[in-house]
Structure 1
Amino acid sequence: MTPTADLVIVNGRVFDGSVRTGHTAVAVASGRIVRVGSDERVRELAGEDTRVVEAAGAVIHPGFVDAHAHAVFAGVERLSIDLTSAASVDETLELIRAGAERTTSEWVTGGGWSHELLPMPTRQQLDAIVPDRPVALSDAGHHTLWVNSRALELAGVDRDTPQPHNGHVHVDEHGDPTGYLNESAAELVGRVVPPSTDDEMHAGLLNAQEYLWSLGVTGWHEAILGEYNGKADATPAYLRGIAEGSVPSAVSGALWVPPGLTVDEVPALVERFVGLRERNAAAGFDTSTAKAMIDGVPHGETAALLEPYCTHSDDGFAGELHFDEAAIREFVTRLDAAGFALHLHIMGDRGIRVALDAIEEARAANGSGPRHHIAHLSMVQPDDARRFGTLGVTANIQGLWAAPDPFVVSMIGEERMLSGYPFRTMADGGAELAMGSDWPVSPADPWLAIHVVVNRWAPLPPGVEAPPLPAGVEPPTLDAEHQSLSLEQALAAYTSGSSSLVLGRPGRIRVGERADLAIATADPFALPAAALVSVQTAVTIVGGEVVFER
């Protein structure tokens, strides 16, 4: 006998995680979906105490699952100095000034500043605001650190500091550090920044969860667990939240493989990861994924390319891998054999090819195994894009990045930009798709990402004008429309695709499934594609409980 529903949603259109169905209503009891069908059939389960939610013709869909987020870092940043809302240099500096006045700690920290607004920020700009306390601010991409003179002094970084491998300390015409540090160079200062306390990280996690609920996100994958770039391990925050019940969202995480790992160090790392996986699983936290950054980012010329950057046509510089190729093959094969899924950050086409070769070698050695996934996909050669399906590698898509970027075009050229984010080629080749935001690197709004994946152009926020292009750079005229996904493909990737990949559950609206649901403000299938950006989340439901209402 079907129980009386605790919650019924009526007058909607159900997208079940795969297709838009003819159903209009969903009933929930004890945290599970107990009926999907017409309004009339679902209302049969309503009792005196049943809550009825009116969808007003909008789509009812599985809750979004973010397959690549740094939720704890994002929440901590939101509670410190969050620069992501700044639309000008003056606004950025004012937010820093206000944040420095607000905080009582020795270090002034935060992040989210824009490279488009501040291509090469300097320590002098920060010195003018905070001359006597150290300041360290991550860029929006979190691959670059902007610091003041006091921070450089405390870290011992000066004109005599050697350039680190896979990083760059930018210097002025006198040879002194400018306060702009890329990749591993950021760690020179990051290692002396006091890490967030366990209480601060737990507060950040709860702040992030509440914000993600407002976007219809009911679960996510924490993409780095471990000490990273001066940041503390986020694992204790999750274990505490799960134990005390303050994190009802479905979550998983990836154990961090540090750059520079050598072949000889791989066995000990795998042994340590196995122990961490068992300990965390006993506490209800799935950490059966290992995360590695195979290369860096094109903005900082640290992505590993097959051909030189356009800006280095004279010296042939094409970026570098963060590991020796032998080490990549070794840790991919050994982690695959131990049952770990690989979550690989890769931005350059050389990095993609090296990683796919390593996964192919692991499959030959170990047979079929965990679902590995590659995130970002900013440059992929066509032949390599077609290998994803053959090798069973999931495309972990950050959709917002798939719009043409004039700054990247100036560094890699139009041909390589056109080969980027080849979602259609991957899907047509049989690759499974998942989606995530990389928040706080980019906004966490799934509907905004879906808009870009379907339309291949990014709308600007209201009142925000596009920043001026660098001298000599023309707006990109790339026709990437052939790589667009359909709305159905994109919505499936951000719901059932991500859920099955990082949570190990179907992420579907069907009887018996956990009731992680969202109701949109409209039916996107009834809108022109260009209007997808207008869709928001009206209601979010986690485990059968309404946790957000717009």
Structure 2
Amino acid sequence: MKLLVSLSVLLCSLMVQAKTTMIHNVQGYTPTKQGSVESFSVLVFKDGKVIKTGDDNTLKQFPNAVRIDGKGKTLLPGLVDAHGHIIGLGNNLMRLDVRGSKTVAEVGKRLREYAKQAPEGWILGRGWDQTLWPEKEFPTAADLDRYVKDRPVVLTRVDGHAIWVNSKAMQLAGINTQTQAPAGGEILRLAKNKPSGIFIDKAEQLVNTHIPPMSDEQRQRALNKAGEHLLGLGITSAHDAGIAYKTWQLYQQRAEQHTLPIRIYAMLSAADPHLAKMLGQGVIKDKDDFLSIRSVKIYADGALGSRGAALLDDYHDRAGYQGLMLETQNQLENLLKQSFSSGYSAHTHAIGDRANRIVLDSYEKIFKQVGGKLLRNRIEHAQIVHPDDIPRFKALAIIPSMQPIHATSDMHMAEQRLDEQQLRGAYAWQTFLKQGSKIAAGSDFPVELANPFHGLHAAITRMSRTNQPEGGWRAAERLNREQALRAFTLDAAYAAFQEYKLGSLEQGKWADFILLDQDYFKVPISQIDDIQVLQTWLAGSLVYQR
């Protein structure tokens, strides 16, 4: 696999873009604004935009067009990931990756090897998940000390809602038995009140603020790494769920230079101290639709795996505990007002049923006070929603921005954390669609792998990549192939006010498309996650080839 960056390829691609070009002999599919999925064998485009799709008769209408033989491959619109973390993904590709580790010892082995390759400074990594380990218990600083004790180590949980640090990191951060967790956070403790080395949600900042900040060069490299990775997976547009001030500056700089590797719809992080300054600059949008910044990412609760998701009732596996709200309802309402008054949408992270209810209550109250209902506001994740609250998404015009892969990653853990009553509205994709809601689908990379075909497989089967459980987990909520593709294309574009520019291969839209090694609509559903991207085209230019 390689990203096409050579001068000769770029010049060739620009020449193609300037002429009427057609890719023929393809099995093409595109969702449409009318709700159907149309098939075609010829795609015609010029100046980066679609002229038309058609069949062999279309070949006669453009006798002077540049012709590219698609060799019978499947062609789809470029996929849109409606919830990811671009710089986080780039960092993840360059840092210690402990995803999939089955034991603490396996994490330690990877840590020790990584420390040899990066012999100086803080060691940062991500991906551990204690629910995959035999004991299923949170680890401790002492577990890391056995492998690295002379340098600070900070490993972020796979969901980003907890960190696991060694004793050196706690020492440098000044953490001791007297240290108190901030509101919205928790420090797990051992005997005699000793911090264990696990910091959940807002308590993460007690350590993270001591990590040396990223340099501009590191941030540039992370963006390039992430862009290269996403293009190779067929993702031409990504919604970046919560950017910091430095990233806000970087994206604008790169947009002005015409060097953004993919299209980015960015949400300002409500937690950034520069939020007011960024909002003061107004909506940001470039004419080529490579950058759009017009929403704020607000954080209501934590995650289910770290028991930070805010529930209406106790956790099934932790009596007397109902998770964490990261903001009070009053704080949420103030952030909504601040966003709407600047013309920005509000996209609020809510995983637990209590968090979803509080967020819906907050939207409803602020819509009545100041408006903002038409801003295509979203709830990010909407994982565990009380059945009584699902219709409120439609009534309040809230878009459920959901990540299908979370259901198959979480299913075993979710059944430990929650009882059957709490699971009634869990990962309820089909229920949302049946009431007329549009689902904006994504992956939440780097929490999950960014591969959208893993997400499409999960959406359609409700099964893991080993195709378990047979028939699918809570299978009534499965999507069909058309619904799943739409959620990763046109409806994701709608959730960013971009349905007239992106998300399908209809006349006048950008010619963002991918060629695949298998037919998405004909391959057995158990094999959808194995589909490989052969080419990625962005605005009529070939930018990736396998």
With normalisation by structure 1, the TM-score equals: 0.87
1:182 aligns with 2:186: no
Point out where structure 1 has 5 or more consecutive residues left out of the alignment.
228-232, 262-267, 467-474
Say which of 303, 321, 328 aligns to 2:325.
Answer: 321
Deviation of 1:51 after TM superposition, in Å, equals 5.3
Offset of residue 282 of structure 1: 10
Return the alpha-carbon distance in structure 1 between the equivalents of residues 130 and 482 of structure 2. 33
CA shift at 1:320, angstroms? 3.1
Q: Choose the corresponding residue for 2:223, options 190, 193, 205.
A: 205
Question: Is 1:52 the counterpart of 2:52 in the alignment?
Answer: no
3-state DSSP of counterpart to 1:448? helix
Closer, same or farther in 2 for the Cα pair 1:327/1:178, shift >3 Å? closer
Query: Is contact 1:123-1:146 (8 Å) kept?
Result: yes
Residue from 389, 392, 403 that aligns with 2:394: 389
SS at match of 1:431: coil
Equivalent position of 2:11 in the other structure: none
Identify which of 480, 488, 491 aligns with 1:486: 480
Tell me the matched-pair count.
520
1:56 counterpart letter in structure 2? G
Aligned residue in 2 for 1:36: 53
Contact 1:295 1:302 in 2 (8 A): yes
Q: Is the 8 A contact 2:284 2:292 kept in 1?
A: no
Aligned to 1:237: 250
Aligned to 1:496: 490
Q: Shift in Å at residue 477 of structure 1?
A: 11
Report the CA distance between 1:104 and its aligned residue.
4.3
Offset of residue 459 of structure 1: 1.5
Question: Where in structure 2 are the equivalents of 1:459-470 lying within 5 Å?
Answer: 459-460=465-466
Q: Which runs of structure 2 are paired with 1:416-495 in the superposition (5 Å)?
A: 416-460=422-466, 480-495=474-489
2:299 counterpart letter in structure 1: M
Letter of the 1:342 partner, please give it: A
Q: CA deviation at 1:91?
A: 4.0
* Aligned-pair CA distance for 1:299: 1.8
Instruction: Identify the residue that residue 379 of structure 2 maps to in structure 1.
Output: 374
Counterpart residue identity of residue 542, structure 1:
L
Is contact 2:26–2:40 with CA below 8 Å preserved after alignment?
A: no
- Return the alpha-carbon distance in structure 2 between the equivalents of residues 105 and 405 of structure 1: 39
CA distance in 2, matches of 1:451, 1:478: 11
Bigger drift between 14-23 and 298-307 goes to: 14-23
Deviations 1:378-421 (A, max 9, x none): 21112211221221111101110123622222222133223201
Distance between the aligned counterparts of 1:249 and 1:540, measured in 2? 11
- On the 8 A contact 1:406/1:476 being kept in 2, the answer is no
Gaps of 5+ in 2: 1-16
Change (3 A) 1:477 1:310: farther
Aligned-pair CA distance for 1:69: 0.8
Query: What per-residue deviation string (whole Å, max 9, x for no partner) do you get for residues 289-325 of structure 1?
Result: 0001111112222211111112343xx3212321221
- SS of the aligned residue for 2:31 comes to coil
Say if 1:395 and 1:537 are closer, same or farther in 2 by CA, change over 3 A: same
1:497 positional shift:
1.0
| C-alpha spacing 1:480/1:279, structure 2 compared with 1 (3 Å) | closer
The match for 1:116 is 131
Equivalent position to 1:79, from 77, 81, 94: 94
CA distance in 2, matches of 1:399, 1:112: 19
Find the aligned partners of 1:417 and 1:510 in 2 and give their Cα distance.
39
Indicate the residue corresponding to 1:101 in structure 2. 116
- Describe how 1:150-169 pairs up with structure 2 within 5 A: 150-169=168-187
1:352 aligns to 2:356 (yes or no): yes
2:309 is the counterpart of 1:293: no
Q: Give the distance between the partners of 1:185 and 1:215, measured in 2 at CA.
A: 34
Please tell me whether the aligned partners of residues 350 and 381 of structure 2 are also in contact (alpha carbons under 8 angstroms): yes
Per-residue CA distance 1:1-45 (angstroms, 9 max, x = gap): x98523524321322355332321212222111221013414753
Contact 1:516 / 1:541 at 8 angstroms: preserved in 2?
A: yes
Deviation, 1:128, is 2.4
Change (3 A) 1:234 1:74: same
Deviation at 1:210, TM superposition (A): 0.6
Q: Which residue of 1 aligns with 2:530?
A: 534
After superposition, the Cα gap between the structure-2 partners of 1:221 and 1:10, relative to the gap in structure 1 and judged at 3 Å, is same
1:453 & 1:97 partners in 2: Cα distance?
A: 37
1:116-137 deviation digits (Å, cap 9, x = unpaired): 3454222223222222111111
CA distance in 2, matches of 1:169, 1:518: 46
Alignment partners' CA distance in 2, 1:307 and 1:357: 18
Residue 276 and residue 136 in structure 1: after superposition, are their counterparts in 2 closer, same or farther (change >3 A)?
farther
The residue that corresponds to 2:5 in the other structure is none
Q: 2:259 aligns with which of 241, 246, 261?
A: 246
Could you tell me which residue of structure 1 aligns to residue 6 of structure 2? Answer: none
Q: Offset at 1:215?
A: 0.9
State the Cα distance separating 1:181 from its structure 2 match: 1.5
Deviation of the 1:437 alpha carbon? 1.0
Q: 1:402 maps to which residue?
A: 407
Q: CA deviation at 1:533?
A: 2.1
Percent identity (aligned) = 26
Note closer, same or farther for the CA distance 1:207–1:53 as it changes in structure 2 (3 Å cut): farther
> Take 2:481 and 2:201, find their aligned partners in 1: how far apart are those partners?
35
Mapped partners of 1:11, 1:363: distance in 2: 47
Q: Is the CA contact (8 Å cut-off) linking 2:51 and 2:507 kept in structure 1?
A: yes
In the alignment, is the contact (CA less than 8 A) between 2:98 and 2:107 conserved in 1? Answer: yes
User: Paired residue for 1:343?
Assistant: 347
3-state secondary structure, aligned to 2:298: strand
Partners of 1:449 and 1:363 in 2: CA distance = 33
Which of 38, 43, 48 pairs up with 1:26? 43
CA contact (8 A) 1:72 1:204 kept: yes
Q: Distance in 2 between the 1:249 and 1:62 partners?
A: 14
The residue identity in structure 1 corresponding to 2:86 is A
1:272 paired with 2:277, answer yes
Does 1:70 pair with 2:85?
yes
**Equivalent-residue separation in structure 2 for 1:508 and 1:419 (angstroms):** 30
* Distance of 1:391 and 1:407 partners within structure 2: 31
SS in 1 for 2:536: strand
Alignment of 1:299-318 (within 5 A): 299-313=305-319, 316-318=320-322
CA distance in 1, matches of 2:470, 2:316: 15
- How far, CA to CA, are the matches of 1:171 and 1:543 in structure 2? 53
Q: Tell me which residue corresponds to 1:548.
A: 544
- The amino acid that maps onto 2:388 is D
In the alignment, what sits opposite 2:520? Answer: 524
Query: Aligned Cα RMSD in Å?
Result: 2.8
Checking the alignment, whether the CA contact within 8 Å between 2:101 and 2:132 is kept in structure 1 is no
The 10-residue stretch of structure 1 (275-284 or 528-537) with the greater mean CA deviation from structure 2: 275-284
DSSP 3-state at the match of 2:455: helix
Q: 1:167 to 1:53 in 2, by over 3 A?
A: farther
